[in-house]
A and B are shown apart, each in its own frame.
Chain A
């Protein structure tokens, strides 16, 4: 089926290939993981949801690790990367993209300060108790602030809470902003909707939670520790709730266009029944959305044994991280499949070794986990269940 009564697939001569490719697919994906992971940490620090005690620090560290690589795909994508800093020096303020650098950099500074304050007592203690290179590393991380008293911890804790509180709207801004960059392009019928920032934001939170869940499970399983089922059940409920909102918005966008039956639907309908049929209808919606929607509902609604909850939540989390990744692909690449001619589609072919290829994308998606492993060797990221139980009882900011 071709759009607008076209007898042949006609794309404009310059629409020969997809300009925004895999790097621009994984950029909002990684940014979303940052925002989502941070929100989980903020649930504990700001909203005092104590069930998240065992995962709060891990969420913060994970947000930082993903954050380190959030802008790298953009840099790789630029065909004049040596001029990337012009966005900082000569921002053109009418562009939705122009202050992304400031929003992103500011957010990373906030994350780093919050992380440092969270782990400062640990640095101080380790600098005192270790020797050699280890001691040098911890002394460097201490940044000269060697004071660690009950009073200093209280101040740090208040600062962390303040930063977490500021970080929530900032995380929402960061990711809502990514959605805005796409949603405000009026030339692209598949992108141009005011729902786009909200969809990006909700899916970001879902992907962050799901990724944390998977990381937590793998680490605890690897260490042969016992699982914190209180946290897992809570996480399942929140993940389910946010995904319901996310999926509803995603469906609303399409249903609205379909019911309105305006000029957008004239190209979206053939897009969804043509090149995006398998990636969107079958993949994103039927398999990766409907299935986790039911699977996650089971532990939330019914009384299910702990072990079953673990399997169900992780199965759903795996589907959800893939759902969000596929959603990013379907938005970014799918939107460009519609030629501006509105009378045909542009083909997309995966690249393997190029700078926007699968290999680079794979490396970028793996890198945050490597950094996470390095950080977790330096600081206690994941609390043991006993420690988590302790934390739930005490003030939700004590490290």
Chain B
């Protein structure tokens, strides 16, 4: 199924390119431009597929230290009061679910009330971030195309083109976006594109002391993330949204929204 998801994306891209290329070639057939276009299209189709990045969150490993949130905040200069990634603490009791994430858990968590501790029958931490969806609602709704898919699957915001309408913030089912009060444009996790494009890892992955966060090319079957992506029993947040997120969770309890 996982392979199909990416294969479908590839096929769709190919079909779109083929249709567009065909239309353009039809128009400029037998012109010098035709040869140039043909060369470009052929070359791009012959290229080996690039990496398809994914992010795995292992719930069982997260200890809620909040170092990931802190690292992200420093690395990306995230303004006070907002987060690009955050950690939620869930305490499940017979009376209901207690969830909190003080300041996104940038300083970790404090102790719980005695009553909740007494009633707790399950407790866990859930790190969250932009899901970098293949069918991203934020990309769909951006009226000027300022939010886009970069090669590798990164969902990015072009701060030079964002008009600051906030439609993407409304459309994101995961609360991953916010309007940056300093730049006045939509802001969100980039999977640390600036680090990954230089061969590094996202800051949150780098600092996680328990490897609760994994990042890499899901097509690379020699890597842990590639194997988990292909064979692991992962799940999505809010699967009913059908956004085909590339952020996947291992051991996701049913209480998590």
Take A92-B144, A341-B175 as given contacts and tell me if A10 and B184 are in contact as well, using a CB distance cutoff of 8 Å.
no
Interface string of A76-97 (1 = CB under 8 A from B): 0111110110110011101111
B166 and A83: CB pair below 8 A?
A: no
- Chain A residues near B142: list those with CB within 8 A: 92, 95
Measured CA separation A5–B175 after assembly (Å) = 20
Q: Is A7 an interface residue (CB 8 A)?
A: yes
Chain A residues near B184 (CB, 8 Å)? 79-80
A13 touches B83 (CB 8 A): yes
Q: Are A83 and B163 in contact (CB under 8 A)?
A: yes
**Which A3-51 residues have a C-beta within 8 angstroms of B?**
4-8, 10, 12-16, 19-20
On whether the beta carbons of A20 and B166 are closer than 8 Å, the reply is: yes
Question: Counting CB contacts under 8 A, is B45 at the interface?
Answer: no
Any A CB within 8 A of the CB of B219: no
CA of A91 to CA of B172, assembled, Å: 20
The residue of chain B having its C-beta at the shortest distance from the C-beta of A99 within the complex is B143
Beyond A7-B95, A10-B99, A86-B144, whether A79 also contacts B179 by CB under 8 A is yes
Encoded as 1 (CB less than 8 Å from any A CB) or 0, chain B from 114 to 127 comes to 00100000000000
Q: Are A4 and B137 in contact (CB under 8 A)?
A: no
Q: Which residues of A contact B140 (CB under 8 A)?
A: 94-95
Q: Scan residues 145-174 of chain B and give those whose CB is less than 8 A from a CB of chain A.
A: 145, 161-167, 169-174
A4 & B257 in contact (Cβ 8 Å cutoff): yes
Give the contacts of B177-228 with A (CB-CB under 8 A). 177-179, 184-185
Task: Please determine whether B143 and A87 come into contact, CB atoms closer than 8 angstroms.
Answer: yes
Cα distance, A188 to B166, chains bound together (Å): 14
Q: Please give me the residue from chain A that is nearest to B89 by CB atom.
A: A10
A187 & B144 in contact (Cβ 8 Å cutoff): no
Contact A187 B116 (CB under 8 A): no
The answer to whether A14 and B178 touch across the interface, beta carbons within 8 angstroms, is: yes
A57: chain B residues at CB < 8 Å are none
- Chain A's closest residue to B86 (CB) is A13
The answer for the CA separation of A113 and B227 in the assembled complex, in Å, is: 65
Most chain A CB inside 10 Å of its own CB: which residue of B100, B175, B177, B179: B175
Those of A330-360 within 8 Å (CB) of chain B: 336, 339-343
Determine if A83 and B241 form an interchain contact, defined as CB atoms under 8 angstroms apart.
no
Whether the Cβ atoms of A78 and B165 lie closer than 8 Å is yes
> Which residues, 107 to 135 on A, are CB-close (under 8 Å) to B?
none
Check if B143 sits within 8 Å of A80, measured CB to CB. no
Q: Which residues of A contact B59 (CB under 8 A)?
A: none
- Which residues of A are found within 8 Å of B101, using beta-carbon distances? 10, 12-13
Please indicate the chain A residues that have their CB under 8 angstroms from the CB of B241 in the complex. Answer: 186-187
Q: Is the CB of A91 within 8 A of B144?
A: yes
Does A187 contact B171, Cβ atoms closer than 8 Å? yes
Q: In the assembled complex, which residues on chain A have CB atoms less than 8 Å from the CB atom of B103?
A: 13
Q: Are B169 and A19 in contact (CB-based, < 8 A)? A: yes
Q: Is the CB of A339 within 8 A of B175?
A: yes
Asked if A5 meets B97 with Cβ closer than 8 Å, knowing A86-B144, A91-B143, the reply is: yes
Q: Which residues of A contact B161 (CB under 8 A)?
A: 83, 86, 90
Given contacts A90-B144, A339-B175, contact A16 B81 (CB under 8 A): yes
A290: interface (CB < 8 Å): no
Measured in the bound complex, the distance between the Cα atoms of B80 and A335 in whole Å is 25
Complex alpha-carbon distance, A19 and B178, angstroms: 9
> Residue B71 at the A interface, CB < 8 A?
no
Does the CB pair B170–A336 fall under 8 Å?
yes
- Which B residues touch A14, using CB under 8 A? 82-83, 175-178
Residues of B42-77 at the interface with A, using a CB-CB cut-off of 8 Å, are: none
Complex Cα spacing A86 to B170, Å: 20
The reply to whether A263 and B240 contact each other, CB–CB distance below 8 Å, is yes
What B residues does A8 contact at CB under 8 A? Answer: 98-100
Cβ of A384 < 8 Å from any Cβ of B?
no
B174 and A340 within 8 A (CB) = yes
A12–B179 contact, CB under 8 A? Answer: no
Q: How far is the CA of A100 from the CA of B185 in the complex (A)?
A: 21
Chain A to chain B contacts (Cβ below 8 Å), 16 pairs:
A6-B97, A7-B98, A10-B99, A14-B175, A19-B166, A19-B170, A78-B163, A79-B166, A83-B144, A83-B163, A94-B139, A95-B142, A97-B141, A97-B167, A185-B170, A187-B241
4 smallest CB-CB distances across A and B, nearest first, come from: A79-B164, A12-B175, A92-B145, A340-B175
